[in-house]
Structure 1
């Protein structure tokens, strides 16, 4: 088959129509070939996306979506999906930093922590996260997403509540298991976001659920403050009750997700049959679908060889060394370095959450007016680096406190990368693989972060603050490189023009990767 034949395929080949029989055939068949943007032949097989089956079954029901219908569907999806995603992410952050609150309520004293023993309570969490990231991603691909993540959440709520029981070795073991279980939520939400939302919506939606970390920070601080003020009124000390209360809330949330969140839009209990058809049509322009449960070795290799995979890894690594340090030592800095009392330190931690939960979605919303998310993220990351410099080097307490608060605009860069993976990494196995590598970088960064805060440098922890500045500057550089890479690739593809794919019905749901699909353009 010549390149000319492929290019003019709509004129020289009959229309390729997927059928129910072709979709359900368990044997792998090559149905046709196309040319990728690099000029290589790409085989389209019957091992396609799960959205294909629904598209085939309802091909006679498809109607064009006008702006009014699109707006109505977007609002309905947000009403049923967004609140529970935001609540879930809020709880996972509250659970993750529960040790930070407990640390100033008596955890370190009662478990006889000395030297850097406390830093290891965070490091072991991310060790578990790191070791189980690939198995978690495989489970999320192989089994229904919502059911899988809800089971993980229920179990991690139980483990969190049990953290009130053991001595130091058992506490470390439970924190490691907690890391294993919490490794599920970010890849699950990345998949869900790409299933339900159009490319141009994904940055804003990702910012809303990810920035709910700030809500978790506020809620966790409020719970810890209330328990401290009433310490002595309970049969358990306040630091233990932090784990019991947050654990029970998380168990309840897990059952709520199990009952409420559908595994795919086509299985949504809150959509009519016609709305399900329209929701599938909404995401057709993404040139992705709901996912494919089969592991594809070719897509895995493509993910490994894609240089952007490693840029995502480097960004996640460098941006989360500061994150690991701040989630573990934020309350301790306010208590020991800034000199606030235990109760005041808990209250002074709340503005951090407010900055994140308001600031990150605000800047994501502003970026919609420029039709580009990466430049806005680069700008805010630069602001974050300046805030880190204030925290590390400013002589005045007020300036350092301002730096501490403004640092919590930093997640906008990480949110951008999450949405970029949802939008720009096509092919389900490739998406899951790239997401896993990014989250491995996230884990390694959070593993390293607490170790930069050396007990011998307390209460200022000057070495840890310098590490935050250096890593922030490096993450800014990597983010710029990601933008340049996508910009140049789009220019190259635009110069070649679009390929006529009209002879392949529903090719958007053929589970092609972004490097295989000649009509794929990267969202900036």
Structure 2
């Protein structure tokens, strides 16, 4: 250790070198936790970015213009492939909905709620494999792990064209186990490259690519398959699964070749760029990640009120999503009176509104930098849409309400970017991501079950449930905003009494949680 200072409250290490990191359990410094008010030890088990930062100390000279160029380079090399993969994974989810109106239910002899369970089965697999998957993502290289998952799920999706009902349910369950890796991996990757204020727009770009997936899936693939059904030797619904599965396999290999596991291994960055990435994310009070499981961070994730607000929001926000993802095409064809081909085409405006609307809302962050405010506004618009869908006896108004539901993901995007920027400590981040996505699973499990077969084609219960759960999700967003505001003020007041903390160097990369780090501030 190079420097140290002692006062009556704590023993503070001002700086240390890579030599101090040789032992994971060695205590490097002791600080006061802003959450508990008790001393907390910083050990050698730090973030992967710490050693890289120490080895390059003094070699990095920040330049604003160069940073802008670096940001553009990162966007150019990372955003397109992330958007493309998210687009494809949503096409894969929607393939079940497309297939449902072109023979799937008939060929597999589905009656009653049997089709509802094809939607729920996906999220059962998602639910039960969530914690193992995020542990795998923490333990092994992120990009390589995702690539393997993507290739495997492409194979499983292609096999959807083979089985009877029981086998179809089994494959849907396995598909859920594989697709769940994408969102937590992208949360990690986004946090590795982008500053807090940059994560909202980038998360919106890759997540709202679901909309592009809906446009391509319903228009370019499903519609054309159905329109030319007589030209193929296999039925249309089977071909939909085969096409989307093969596309997914191809993208999986692209992920393996293109996406780096950390910025320090990025093939498209030179040595100076890699050093600058370290500096640009320093403000996040986080680094690249830590491959070691930390029990105290795991426990903290479960005792943090934010975790459960995120969890409740995920459930309530995704009950409507689960229903519309699986019953959107059925609602359009049976409820609104469109033909099968028209129902596929009429899903394209929904996708366009999701991509354009969510991205524009995220761009508005530049003018009013409180992302939760924009998420709250988008959720209010969604509630209006659900009122039109459920309680107005006019097909045009109902269709408008259906399309306004495309803005519902903005709240989910906001919380995903919040996990990337406002949850620190790698074990804690992956744990909170897992809990949040379990809530996502629960919501999507419940959603299809609200569409009761006896109520077709109006599905009154489903429409009432969508509105009710959306209102609760709105309350969750408001509570999260209030919590961030309160906690930041409390920490600002505490910092005024503990100015000596400011002398600790590279604390950003010590793999501390947001509750352990006295310098951490939440971005609303």
Shorter-chain TM range is over 0.9
Q: By how many angstroms is 1:506 displaced?
A: 1.1
Work out which of the residue numbers 256, 262, 272 in structure 1 matches 2:270: 272
Q: Comparing 504-513 with 446-455, which one deviates more in the overlay?
A: 504-513
Work out which of the residue numbers 465, 471, 474 in structure 2 matches 1:473: 471
Match of 2:338 in 1: 340
Q: By how many angstroms is 1:261 displaced?
A: 0.2
Match of 2:406 in 1: 408
Work out which of the residue numbers 8, 27, 48 in structure 2 matches 1:5: 8
User: Would you say the 8 A contact 1:501–1:507 is kept in 2?
Assistant: no
Shift in CA distance, 474/15, structure 1 to aligned 2, threshold 3 Å = closer
Work out which of the residue numbers 397, 418, 421 in structure 1 matches 2:419: 421
Match of 2:229 in 1: 231
Work out which of the residue numbers 120, 124, 136 in structure 2 matches 1:123: 120
Match of 2:490 in 1: 492
Shift in CA distance, 462/475, structure 1 to aligned 2, threshold 3 Å = same
User: Would you say the 8 A contact 2:120–2:444 is kept in 1?
Assistant: yes
Q: Comparing 361-370 with 100-109, which one deviates more in the overlay?
A: 361-370
Match of 2:58 in 1: 60
TM, length-normalised to structure 2:
0.97
Whole-angstrom CA distance in 2 between matches of 1:406 and 1:112: 33
Alignment partner of 1:15: what SS? strand
Q: By how many angstroms is 1:24 displaced?
A: 3.2
Alignment partner of 1:32: what SS? strand
User: Would you say the 8 A contact 1:3–1:35 is kept in 2?
Assistant: no
> Which runs of 5 or more structure 1 residues have no equivalent in the other structure?
none
Matches within 5 A, 1:120-199: 120-199=117-196
Q: By how many angstroms is 1:274 displaced?
A: 0.5
Whole-angstrom CA distance in 2 between matches of 1:260 and 1:125: 28
TM, length-normalised to structure 1:
0.97
Shift in CA distance, 479/95, structure 1 to aligned 2, threshold 3 Å = same
Shift in CA distance, 284/161, structure 1 to aligned 2, threshold 3 Å = same
Q: Which runs of 4+ in 1 moved over 4 A?
A: 1-4
Match of 1:511 in 2: 511
Q: By how many angstroms is 1:83 displaced?
A: 0.2
Query: Deviations along 1:448-490, whole A, 9 cap, x unmatched?
Result: 1000000000011111111000000010011111111111111
User: Would you say the 8 A contact 2:260–2:267 is kept in 1?
Assistant: yes
Match of 2:459 in 1: 461
Work out which of the residue numbers 327, 330, 337 in structure 1 matches 2:328: 330
User: Would you say the 8 A contact 1:91–1:250 is kept in 2?
Assistant: yes
Whole-angstrom CA distance in 2 between matches of 1:15 and 1:229: 69
Alignment partner of 2:424: what SS? coil
Whole-angstrom CA distance in 1 between matches of 2:188 and 2:492: 28
Give aligned pairs, total: 517
Whole-angstrom CA distance in 1 between matches of 2:183 and 2:235: 32
Alignment partner of 1:43: what SS? strand
- Aligned-residue CA RMSD (Å): 1.4
Q: By how many angstroms is 1:22 displaced?
A: 2.4
Alignment partner of 1:426: what SS? coil
User: Would you say the 8 A contact 2:123–2:441 is kept in 1?
Assistant: yes
User: Would you say the 8 A contact 2:190–2:420 is kept in 1?
Assistant: yes
Whole-angstrom CA distance in 2 between matches of 1:213 and 1:331: 16
